[in-house]
Amino acid sequence: MNSELVLIIDDEPQIRKLLKIVLESNGYRVIQAKDGKEGILLAGSHQPDLILLDIGLPDMSGHQVLKNLLAWYTKPIIVLSVQNGEEDIVNALDSGASDYLAKPFRTGELLARIRSALKRYRSVDQSDSVVVFSDLEIDLISRTAKKNDTIVKLTQTEFNLLSLLVKHEGKVLTHQFILKEIWGMGYQTETQYLRVYVAQLRKKLETDPNHPIHIITESGVGYRFC
Amino acid sequence: MNSELVLIIDDEPQIRKLLKIVLESNGYRVIQAKDGKEGILLAGSHQPDLILLDIGLPDMSGHQVLKNLLAWYTKPIIVLSVQNGEEDIVNALDSGASDYLAKPFRTGELLARIRSALKRYRSVDQSDSVVVFSDLEIDLISRTAKKNDTIVKLTQTEFNLLSLLVKHEGKVLTHQFILKEIWGMGYQTETQYLRVYVAQLRKKLETDPNHPIHIITESGVGYRFC
DNA sequence: TGACTTTTATAAAATCTTTATACCTGCCTG
DNA sequence: CAGGCAGGTATAAAGATTTTATAAAAGTCA
């Protein structure tokens, strides 16, 4: 169940079928969307590890879909296109796509570019590594936390918060930033939520919750993980 | 002089010349190597921001050069090749190249792939915002200050003030200017606030607060950071 | 129901502002 | 020259205010 999930957004059923077969026989899990709208929905709900986006879609111009995805989706997007027009390539790459591939493509090259994109992302994200801080041990992918080798049970939100702090270890994260990341846009003023969850995390993770050594509060600004 | 430096490794003088012209006319600085050995040396000595590597080199197989570079060079490498053989592409990408481009290439696409690779790298890198002054080390983005490698806890206003002084290091900032920047319009006469905070910063940061070496007072005018 | 999230309430802590007082330097004057 | 005054500066410490911690109640969702 820990194979990577690829979302295919393409209007041509044959291409989808082909891609699905190729990808699944190489160990990826696959979900498909037949147009941009569906693709954006699926990307949001399933959080795939990589998106293959055909830019010649019927409903929205593929470029619009790309722009929408880039606004919030942080993992790699590989753009496909029948047109081998230079302008298209330049556009896609400049707006932030991870890679570009002209159709018809060779499946070997496609797979290589997928591997490359995923590898680059992982090396950035490095979420496959377990992070250790003295008595704490946090595994970002299996979403578990240990304190002195004992598993600590954390709720979804608690882990999300911990995860965010850990990913930016050492830096001060503002209340606003944390609230936006965990609760989403529009919650930036609900500082109290954050206080409650920080208290809960400290109670579960800190040896002495009254004198935290990991989750440090930066009064007036935010919190920092050490 | 802060434009990005690109290293071209290619044995064909015409290609080098072409690439040099294209890149320089797009604001990059360029250095060139005619074979793998020279390329590795130049990469080590000049630390270019990106390498364009032609994989069909005479002295070593280009793949060996690539392997050597990947072992220590962390910035993007884009591989060029006359052969459009799928195996080549797959190899290059799998071993860790950032991107692959078949010759003959269109300059627009090349430039787009360069921009894309550099952008990806920059978004990962974000290393230095750290400023060092003998025993002090101030990180403007993570909002931390260290004295002799020990983190010093600063309040919001304290850090804002320090940050302002550091940003204008060496210059004398008037009381008025500082007050306007930190406390806002209308506080320009509250010189006392400033005195209090300067004293606090000195107590926390100066080895001998009575004879400050970093936060210098310019009597009748303001303060200066050294 | 039970696990989790959102609100509410209140105590505690940290920070900021203000006041008070001492300091230092140069200059004027007896 | 000593003493005192003036302008600017340094520092401690007392309020005032803001921010944070925490428990616990209320709401939500499966």
The pLDDT tens digits for A210-225 are 999 999 999 999 999 9
- Determine phi and psi for B137, rounding to 5 degrees: -140, 115
- Give per-residue pLDDT as tens, B4-20: 999 999 999 999 999 99
Say how far apart CA A160 and CA B212 lie, in whole Å.
Answer: 44
pLDDT in tens, B33-57: 998 889 988 888 888 999 999 987 7
Q: Is the domain of B114 the same as that of B159?
A: no
**Residue that has been written with the tokens 């590890």 in this structure:** A49
B117 and B135 inside one domain: no
Average pLDDT taken over every residue of chain A? 86
Residue-level pLDDT at B165? 95
* A81 and A188 within one domain: no
Q: Least CB-CB distance to B143: which of A98, A106, A221? A: A221
Give the per-residue pLDDT at A119. 83
Q: What is the pLDDT of residues A104-132, one digit of tens each?
A: 888 888 999 999 888 888 766 554 568 89
pLDDT tier for residue A84 given thresholds of 50, 70 and 90? low
Q: Which domain holds residue A134?
A: 130-225
Of B108, B124, B155, the CB nearest to A90: B108
Contact assessment for residue A76 and residue A99, using Cβ atoms and an 8 Å cutoff: yes
pLDDT at A83: 66
Beta carbons within 8 Å of A106's beta carbon, 6+ residues apart:
B86
Q: Which helix (H) or strand (E) segment is A111 a member of?
A: helix A107-125
The rounded distance, in Å, linking the Cα atoms of B224 and B172 is 5
CATH number of the domain residue A209 falls in: 1.10.10.10
Domain finish residue from A99, A123, A147: A123
**Residue with structure tokens 């010759």?**
B103
- Do A14 and A114 lie in a common domain? yes
pLDDT tens string B90-147:
877 877 788 888 878 888 889 989 998 888 787 666 556 788 899 999 998 889 999 9
A103 shares its domain with A136: no
- Are residues A13 and A119 both part of a single domain? yes
Indicate the number of domains in chain A. Answer: 2
The answer on A103 and A32 residing in a single domain is yes
The residues, ordered by sequence, that sit 6+ positions from A142 with a Cβ below 8 Å of its Cβ are none
Residues at the strand D interface (Cβ < 7 Å): A 175, 191-192, 195-196, 198-199, 202-203, 209-210, 217-222; B 175, 191-192, 195-196, 198-199, 202-203, 209-210, 217-221
In a shared domain, residues B103 and B155? no
Residue A171 and residue A213 in one domain: yes
Confidence check: pLDDT of B171 > 60: yes
Domain of B65: which CATH number? 3.40.50.2300
Co-location of B159 and B95 in the same domain? no
Last residue of a domain, one of A71, A96, A123: A123
Interacting residues of A135 by C-beta distance below 8 A, sequence separation 6+ = A147, A148, A207
User: Each residue of A150-205: pLDDT tens digit?
Assistant: 999 999 899 889 989 998 899 999 999 999 888 988 899 999 999 999 999 999 99
Question: What is the average per-residue pLDDT within B145-169?
Answer: 95
- Reported confidence tier of residue A52, pLDDT bands at 50, 70, 90: very high
Is the confidence at residue A72, as pLDDT, over 70? no
Q: State the pLDDT at residue B179.
A: 95
Q: CA(A183)–C1'(C6) in Å?
A: 12
* Closest in B96, B108, B142 to A171, CB measured: B142
Spatial contact of B164 and B177, defined as CB atoms under 8 Å apart = no
Query: Do residue A115 and residue B93 have CB atoms under 8 angstroms apart?
Result: yes
Rounded to whole angstroms, the Cα distance separating B73 from B27 reads 23
Q: At what angle do helices A13-24 and A107-125 cross, to 10 degrees?
A: 60
Write the CB contacts of A199 (distance below 8 Å, at least 6 apart in sequence): A209
**End position of a domain, from candidates B102, B123, B144:** B123
- Residues B112, B147, single domain; the answer is no
Do B25 and B118 lie in a common domain? yes
The residue whose CA lies nearest the C1' of nucleotide D12 is B196
* Residues of B whose CB is below 8 A from A224: 142, 144
| Residue B30 backbone zone (phi > 0: left; psi -120 to 50: alpha; other: beta) | beta
Instruction: Check if the beta carbon of residue B157 is closer than 8 Å to that of residue B199.
Output: no
Higher per-residue pLDDT: B51 or B2: B51
